Each structure stands twice: as C-alpha cells, then as structure tokens.
Chains A and B, each alone.
Chain A
Amino acid sequence: MGIVDYGIGNHASVMHSLRDIGFRVRVGSEIDVLNDVDVLLLPGVGAYPTAMKALHQHGLVGYLQDQARAQRPIIGICLGMQLLASASHELQYTDGLDLIPGKVVPLTEPKWHIGWNTIECVQRDSLLWPSDGQAFYFNHSFAYQGPPEYQVCVSRHLTTLSSVIRRGKVVGLQFHPEKSQAAGRILLKNVVFGLAHA
C-alpha cells in the first residue's frame, strides 16, 4: 500500500490499520516510491484547496490521472475521496483530480455529518457487499454529488449522501474506515484485496 502524502495531517491511524490487517505500507509523495506499491491511498485530513495545491507541487495530479487510466487501484478516504471528484466548492472553487466525474458541495440541512452512520449498498459490488448495513465513522461538512452510476453506497442523515463511490479501480470512501474499529478493518481489507487481485 502506498499512502500519498500531501504534507498535512498524520497518517499513523491509517498506517496502523493497514499494517494490522497485514499490508506493507509506504508513505511518500515521490513518484518512484508510489510506483513501487500495488494500491495507492489518498488519506483524509485537511482542506480541499491546500491538498490539491500540495498534489500539484509534487506533480502528482497528472501522475494519479495516468495511474487511474492504467487501471491502477486508487482509494480515497474522506477528503481523499472528494479529491477524486472533478471539483469542490470547499472554501473556494478548486479543480479536483477528476477521476470520478462529480462535484463536492457543502452540506446544507444539516450543515455537517458527524458520528457513526450505516451504509446501504445501492449497487451489487462484491467489495462492499459484506459491509452492507454496517456502521462507520463520518466526520465531514462537504459531500460528493454525481451521476448515480458511480454511487455504490449511500447513507441517510435527513438527506441521502454518497458514502462510497467507485469508477473502475478508483474507490472513494466518505467515512474513516481507519476509525471505524472492526467494521472498518473488514471493509478496508475487502476493498484493498479486491482491488489488488481483481
């Protein structure tokens, strides 16, 4: 596993979670490090514009787009999931990696989604199916909106929002699996194994 480091937030939890499951983990922003791994992971801490700026600085935007086209497995967690989209309105309008068409908009009623919420699979996806109905930890005030074909799981909180999006081997998780205890461990293991061996 390669955790893409865009210079903000610590990756201890994600790294521990992945290592507990049994994966080898590398953290880095250099292309030669990221080339050496099977699955790329975009972690979930910080604000959208700063993260995109960091990706640009390290020349990773083009790189990630090439890898996605080459069917390299990429997983985005929380902010990392939103970066996969075309653009986001967080703070100011910013272009994303555009690996999964759609945009990121602020939540309105209510203005944030915090706490443990269940996910419902709306598409038959073998990686996510075992986690249908499980509760995961959400902590965000912006959300992805896009074509239903990319929406694999949703969660209900007064409105319906996308909790898992997928296009080919690019998967976005709005919640924090590394902070969702046993349910998170199981889902992360299924998704990573599923993508790496698909």
Chain B
Amino acid sequence: MKYCKLCLQPDTRPNTVFTNEGLCPACHYYEESKKIDWQERYEILLDLIPSISRAPGQHFDCIIGVSGGKDSTRQAVWVREKLGLKPLLVCLSHPPQQVSQLGVDNISNLINMGFDVVLSSPAPQTWRDLMRDSFFKFANWARSSELALFSSVPQLAIRYKIPLIFWGENPALQIGDLSTMGRNGYDGNNLRYSNTLSSGHAWMVESGFNLNSILPYIYPTHEEFDSSRIQIVFLGWFIGDWGLVNNASYACPVGLGIRSEGPEETGDLYGLSNLDEDWHNMNQMVKYLKFGFGKVTEYVNEELRSGAINRSTAIDLVERYDGKCSEKYIRSFCEFIRISQDEFWAHIKRFMNRDLFEIDSTGNIQKKFKVGVGL
C-alpha cells in the first residue's frame, strides 16, 4: 500500500495508476492544471454554445443532473446565469423512507430559485430489494441506486429531445477513474464505463427482477446516444476552482443547506457531502474498509494540494475521522433493507481488505496501516 507523495491518497482505488514520481492521478491533474489557461477553456465553451440547437418547439438548451447538493446547485446557477442557457434540471430522488429532509429542502430551494425541474423517483420496494441485493453482492448498497442516478439524465435527455447534458467532474481526471476518458477532457460520452456503471443491470435480471420493473436502472445504449445525438460535457473541465469546499462556498450563499452532524458521526469533515440521504456515509465506511481511505481523506487531499493544511494535521484528521459512521445510520439502513446488524457486520467483514485491516480479540476492526506511511 503506497501513499501519494503530495496527498494522502493510497494506491488502492480501482482503475487508477500513480505517476512514476509517486503522484496519484488527482495530484498529477492538480499539478498539470496549474498550467491550464482557464480563459482559453472558457472560450472553448463559449464557442460550443452557439452550436447548441434546440429541437423545434423545445425551449431548453441543456439538461443538468441534480441531487440538490453543492456540485449540482453550483452548476445549475453557473449554466443559467454565466452561460445564459436555459437548463432543465433532472433529479433522481431516493424513496421517501431514505431521502433526507435536507435533501428535499435543497431540491425545493432549486425550484424556488426559478429552475424547471423534473424529479423522478423509482418504485420504493424494488429500490429497497435492489439495494439489498447490491449490498450482499458488491458490499456496496449504492451500486443499483448509482445506476438509476446515472441513467436518469440521459434517459430524460433522449425523451425530452435535449441532446446536451452538463455533468460535474470528469472522474478520469479529478479522481483518477481513467476508464471514462473521452475524446478530450470534457467529453463525457464514455461515462458508461466508469466503475459505478460498468456492472450494468444484467445482475439485476439474473437475480430475478424482470426488465419492466427496473426501467429506471437501464443506462441508454450507444445507439440510443447516437440516434439522439446526446453529448455529455464535463463542466468540471472548464471550472478551475472546482472542488468540495469551493462548490459548497458557491452553493451555500444561494440557499444550499448542509449537514449539522460532525465528522465523528459522518466521516465527512465539514458535512458538505451526501446531503440528500444518510447511508452514503455508511458506504464511505465500507469503502474505507475495502481500500483504506474514506471521505475525510478526499477532503484533506484537496486541502493538501492547495496548501491549506500541512501533512501532519491532515494525517491526524484522517487517523481520527476517516471511515467513521454513526451507529444510528447503520441501524436505520439495516431496518430499511430488513437485516440484523450482526448480518451487516458479518457481511462487511467478509469484504474487508485483510491486508489493511484485522479483527482483534474483542471482534473490533483495527487498521494495520499507518496513514501516510502505509503497511
């Protein structure tokens, strides 16, 4: 297990390759991005806009997938007020049992800011059963919901005849998921190959769900993309100050609400992420147990790159809070997918990375590595 020279990113994330100077892809991108001429990129975007043709009778220029969180709120406002375009916002909403009050308030905030929003929400029981299957098959309950989230935007773009989709960050650049690299930095049409989507919906059919009950989870095919001339553009490529803290600092002044719990409960340093439901925090803990890094690592990595904090403070924060998840989220999750907490932990431990973690005599999980050093 090796750490990035500049930040605290371990080399355990799938589809990522460190540079030979020992920099993780995100740091490499950050170093490279210092040389980017953002004005030139902005002009590329301005040149792109006139080519946007509205289908006859259609008055939207583009579609933006939103959860009501910091990234989407920032994007929506920037596209409307900076680029002068008229976006249709699309929100794939968790079922009533899972969506948080903060989440629905943030979507309401977007609507009351004058955006047109289509909110789609899949059948709650099917959603829960898929979550359960996803949890037991991938130890990641969100594999099915992520598929619905990623599919909802192109599905609606095709049905509403709005070919231009704005997406947030390019996973290939910002977080090192190289499989989604398109023709250039902002082409997002290979998003279908990102690791969250790569498993597709075949496993759902195999575990007994017939097609017409999982329609929201089916990502449109290449042919459907091409016949509707769909083009996904990563806005992250054009916005130089894109980041966790920055996006929140743009979104909060226009009404975004953030979490009030501290990192010891959420494993989220400032409570800026996963605003629309609680169980992603628990998922971060599972990710931590698989790969040895969680949400706090992501925060400190950003701040290490921008020099906002030094390495020792960062290591201390990661040591103290990374992978933390309050027991109340685990209880509510287990209640929702109807399993006992023992079953939960038994399953998690099966997916735990034995090289990085071990179970001590009292049954608790201890990490075997030292943050910033490795094993």
In the complex, is A directly touching B at CB under 8 Å? no
Give chain B's interface residues, CB within 8 Å of chain A: none
